[in-house]
Structure 1
Amino acid sequence: MADSATDPTANGSSGNTLKGSMYPTTTITTTTRPLDIMITNLSRTDAQAAYSQIASGPVAQNVKDQSAKTTAEFSNLANSRQTPSQPAATGQPLTHYHSFFSELLSWNNPRASAIAYVSIVSLIFVARYLDLIRYTFKLTWMALGVTVLAEVAGKTVLGNGLATQLRPRKYYTVPRETLDSLIGDVHELINFFVIESQRILFAENVTASAVAAFGAFLSYYLVKIVPYWGLALVSTTLLFFVPLVYTTNQELIDHHLKQASDVIESQTEQLRQVANKHTAQATEITKQYLGDYTAKAQQMIRGQTASSKSTQSHLNESDFPKAPKEGFNKKEEEESSEEEDEEEPLIAA
C-alpha cells in the first residue's frame, strides 16, 4: 500500500490525487508544461533579439551604408555619360564616353572605380588561366544533352517530353529599343577610341601624346619579356592608379612639375641665348669673309683693267700692219662703172 500510495502512476490516473500521497501528480504535470513553453518563448525571444541586434548592429549598418554609397556612386557614374561642352580641336563634338571614362579614372566615385578595376583584372586572369572556349563547348553539350535526355525519357515513360513542359509559350526576343540603345552605345564607344587615337596622333594634348609615346616605347621592349596578359595587367594598373596618385598628391606633384618646367625653361632660354650669340658671330664672320672676298675680287678686277690700259698705252700704230687701201679703191671704181652701164640701157628704152 505504501508503494501504491507513493507511486503517482499506480492508479493509472495522472489527474487525481491519492490518499496518503504528499506529491500529487497534478503538481508535476502542471509545472513541467509551462516550463517548456517558457523556455520555448524565451528561446524565440532571444533569437529575435539577437537577430534584431545583429540586423541593427554596427556591422550590419556599415554594410547597408556601404551598399547605399556604392549604388549612389554607380548612379553618378551612369549619369556622367553626357557629351562634353568643350569640343575637339577640329570643332566636332566628343562622345559621352569621354566624360564617362574621365569620371571613372578620376576616382571621384572611389567604390565604382575600384570595382571596375577589380572586374577588369579578374577578366584578365580569367582569360589567362581559364580556357573559356573549351568550357563554353563543354557547357553547351552538357546542357543540350540534359534537355535531349529529358525530352526522350519523358516521351518514353510519361508520353510527354519534359523539355516540352518547360518550354515557354513565347520565345524571348530582344526589343528594338534595347537593340537600338545597344547599337548606339557601341557606336559611341568605337568613336571614342577613334577620336582619341587621332587626338593623340596629332598632338592635341602634348602631354597625353608624350605619355602615349613613352608607353608605346616601353611596350615595344617589354613585350619581348612580358606576356600579353601581363602587359595588359600593367597597363590597366597604370591607367587606373596614376590618376589616383596624382589626385591624392596633386599639390606636391604640381610643385615639382612647376620646378621642373622652370628649370627646363631656364635651360631653354640659355640655349636660345647661346644659339643666338653663335648665330650672330657666324653671321659677322660670314659678312667679314664676304667683304674680304669682295674686296679681293674688286682688286683683281681693277688690276686687270689697269694692266689692259697700260698695255694699250704702250702700243703704237707702227706695231700693227697697215690695211691695203688701193685694192679697196679699185673695187669701188669697178662697182660704180657697172652701175652706170646698167642705167644707160634703161634711159635709152
Structure 2
Amino acid sequence: MSDAPHVELSNTDLSDLADLSAPVDQRSQALPVNGSANQASTQQTAADAKNSILQSKNTMASIQNHPSVQNAKDTVLNGPVGQQARAEGAKTRDEFADLANSRQIPDQKAATGQNLTHYHSMFYRLLSWKNPRATGISFAAAIVFIFAARYLNVIRYIFKLTWVVLGTTAAAEVAGQLALGKGLTSQFRPRQYFTIPKASLERLLDDVEQLINFFVIESQRIVFAENVYVTIAAFFASLISYFLIKFVPMWGLALIATLVTYLGPLVYLQNKEVIDAQLEKGKNLASQQATQIKGLASQHAANASQTVQGLTQQYTTKAQETINQYRGRSPSAEVKKEDFPAAPKNDLKTEASSEIPTKHEQEPPLVPQTAL
C-alpha cells in the first residue's frame, strides 16, 4: 500500500473545485436572460431598420438639396413648362369651382310652373362647354369608365384588393404579437374611428334627391312635348337605339350616347351660324308647306261644303216634287152647295104632330087574355 501513487491537492485546487456549482446556477438563470436577449436583438433590428430609413431620408434630402438638383428643379418648375403647367392647373381649378357654383335653381320654370332643380343649371353649363377643361375632363373620365367596365373585371379587382389589405393587416398584427409582444396594425389604429357627420349625409341625400328629380322632370317634359324639338330628337334617338341594340352591345350604346351627348353641343357651338340658318330655312319651308296644306284643306272643305249644299238642295227639290205628285194623284172631292139637303120651312113641332097617328085609329083594341 505504501508503494501506491499518492496525489496531493493544494488548497487552491480545492477552491477551484468548490466553485463548480456556480456555473450551474448561472445556467439556470441564463434561460430568461436569453429570451430578453432575443427581444433586445429584435428591438435592435427594428432600431437599425429605423436608422436605415432615417439615413435613406437624409440621403434623399441631401440629394434634393444638392445645388445641381436644385438648379434642375428650378429650371423645370420656374421655366416656361412649369409656369404653363401651373397656369393650366389654376385655370382647371377655377373652372371646376365655377361649375360647382353653377348648381343653383334656374329662374326659368317648367310649363307647369314648377321650379327646376339645380342640376339643370349644372348640366347645361357642363354640356354647353362654357368650362372646356372641366367638360373635357368629365368627358374623358366617362369614356375611361366605359372601357374599364368593358375590359376590366372591376368587381374581381375590388375583392382582390379587399383580401390583400385584410391579409396584410392580419399578418402584420399576428407577426408583431409573436415577435414584439404587441401587434403592428394596432399601433396604427386611430384614437377615434372616422364617422360621416349628419350634415354631410343630409347634403348628400339632398343632392341625390335633386339628381333623381332632374331625370324625372326631364322625362316628363320630353313626353309631354314641352320642347317639341327635344321630343323629336328623343324620338329619333330611341328609334335608332331600337335597331342598334340588335347587334351593338350595351357598352357600345353607352359609348355612342356619351359621344353624342358631349360632342353634339360642341359641334352645334362650332357651327352655330350655319346650323341656325339651316334650321331657320327648314322652319320657313315647313311653315310654307303648312300654309299650303292649310289652303288646300280649306279649298277642299269649301268645295265639299258646296257639293253637300247642292246635293241637299237637289234632294230637297226632289222630295217636294214627290210629295206634290202624291197629292195630285188623290185630290179631295170638291164640295158643292147642291150636295147639301134643303132646310125645312115649317115648324118642326107642328109637322111632327101631324104625322104621328092617334092611338085609337091606328092600334087595334086590346083583348083581355084569360087564363086557359
The two structures have a TM-score, normalised by structure 2, of 0.70
SS for the counterpart of 2:124 is helix
1:155 deviation in Å?
1.7
SS for the counterpart of 2:330 is helix
Query: What whole-Å deviation, never above 9, does each CA across 1:9-35 have from its counterpart, x for those lacking one?
Result: xxxxxxxxxxxxxxxxxxxxxxxxxxx
Aligned equivalents of 1:179, 1:312: Cα separation in 2: 108
Aligned equivalents of 1:56, 1:127: Cα separation in 2: 40
RMSD of aligned alpha carbons: 1.8
Structure 2 stretches of 5 or more lacking a match? Answer: 1-65, 340-372
Aligned to 1:154: 176
SS for the counterpart of 1:309 is coil
Aligned equivalents of 2:248, 2:235: Cα separation in 1: 19
Aligned equivalents of 1:274, 1:46: Cα separation in 2: 88
1:88 deviation in Å?
1.1
Aligned to 1:128: 150
1:207 deviation in Å?
1.1
Aligned equivalents of 2:97, 2:333: Cα separation in 1: 106
Please say if 1:168 is aligned against 2:219: no
Q: 1:303 to 1:174 in 2, by over 3 A?
A: same
Please say if 1:100 is aligned against 2:119: no
The structure 1 segments of at least 4 consecutive aligned residues displaced by more than 6 Å after TM superposition are 310-313
Aligned to 2:3: none
Please say if 1:63 is aligned against 2:85: yes
SS for the counterpart of 1:82 is coil
SS for the counterpart of 2:113 is coil
Specify which of 270, 291, 315 is matched with residue 269 of structure 1. Answer: 291
1:87 deviation in Å?
1.3
Aligned to 1:321: none
1:49 deviation in Å?
4.1
1:54 deviation in Å?
2.8
Aligned equivalents of 1:220, 1:294: Cα separation in 2: 58
Please say if 1:184 is aligned against 2:206: yes
Aligned to 1:143: 165
Name which one, 1 or 2, has greater alpha-carbon Rg.
2
1:53 deviation in Å?
3.1
Aligned to 2:313: 291
Q: Report 1 or 2 for greater relative contact order, CA contacts < 8 Å, sequence distance ≥ 6.
A: 2
Query: What whole-Å deviation, never above 9, does each CA across 1:78-122 have from its counterpart, x for those lacking one?
Result: 110000011111111111000000000000000000001111111
Aligned equivalents of 2:234, 2:240: Cα separation in 1: 10
In percent, how many aligned pairs have the same letter?
A: 48
Aligned equivalents of 1:210, 1:160: Cα separation in 2: 70
Aligned residues: 271
Structure 1 stretches of 5 or more lacking a match? Answer: 1-43, 318-349
**Alignment-mate amino acid for residue 209 of structure 2:** H
Aligned to 1:235: 257
**Alignment-mate amino acid for residue 97 of structure 2:** S
Q: 1:307 to 1:121 in 2, by over 3 A?
A: same
Please say if 1:278 is aligned against 2:278: no
Aligned equivalents of 2:108, 2:209: Cα separation in 1: 20
Aligned equivalents of 1:131, 1:54: Cα separation in 2: 39
The two structures have a TM-score, normalised by structure 1, of 0.74
Aligned to 2:232: 210
1:45 deviation in Å?
5.5
Aligned equivalents of 2:195, 2:71: Cα separation in 1: 48
1:50 deviation in Å?
4.2
Query: What whole-Å deviation, never above 9, does each CA across 1:237-290 have from its counterpart, x for those lacking one?
Result: 101111111111111111111111111111111111111111111111111111
SS for the counterpart of 1:272 is helix
Q: 1:99 to 1:276 in 2, by over 3 A?
A: same
Q: 1:173 to 1:207 in 2, by over 3 A?
A: same
Aligned equivalents of 2:304, 2:133: Cα separation in 1: 63
SS for the counterpart of 1:262 is helix
